[in-house]
Amino acid sequence: MKNILRPALVLFFVLTLLTGIAYPFVVTGLAQTLFPAQAHGSLIFRDGKVVGSILIGQSFSDPAHFWSRPSATGPMSNNAAASSGSNQGPMNPALTDLVKARVADLRAADPSNIAVVPVDLVTASASGLDPHISLAAAQYQLGRVATARKLSPQAVQALIDQNTQRPLLGILGAPVVNGLQLNLALDAHSSHGNSN
């Protein structure tokens, strides 16, 4: 029994030290050194204060801001501690009612816009935390935001273009816009008194 127990305990302690202590410290140290922004949550700072993360969406309802993709997390939207989808299928009447209500909200915020509402503005992502909207969703909201901010559509379009993330290697994925980054760029643009 001694011949079996001693090597087993030695191996247990060696592996615990390697995989439970040494490996996590090495990986954490490398991450902190090589990718400090990502290791700390990809935080966005404004005037020295954290205003969000580029990885987690935020809700906007002001007509002067681009609205993000809806969130299904609870008890509040975009709750990173409760990442989840709604689990409502396409045949679920509750989802149909929710989508209709979201379309009505978008139409009420911009009654002159008769374009088709992009699907990502009325449906939540699987995680409930998606910070991105499609280019179609940004274009859909351009007129409302430009009018609310008294900016030209060209000025708002330029901000959309500056905050568009292109597909990886030019082919993987679709172009998307980070809602928080775009809204912060809008706020910075407006605070500088640019109204062209």
CA proximity to 131, closest of 80, 86, 90, 92: 80
Instruction: Answer whether residue 14 shows pLDDT above 70.
Output: yes
Reported pTM: 0.76
Domain ranges in the chain are 1-40, 41-191
Tell me how far apart the terminal alpha carbons of the chain are, to the nearest angstrom.
84
What integer pLDDT is reported at residue 192 of this predicted model? 62
Continuous segment of H or E residues that includes residue 94: helix 93-109
Question: Is there a contact between 166 and 121 (Cβ–Cβ < 8 Å)?
Answer: no
Q: What gap in Å lies between CA 166 and CA 158, rounded to an integer?
A: 15
Q: How confident is the model at residue 126 (pLDDT cuts 50, 70, 90)?
A: confident
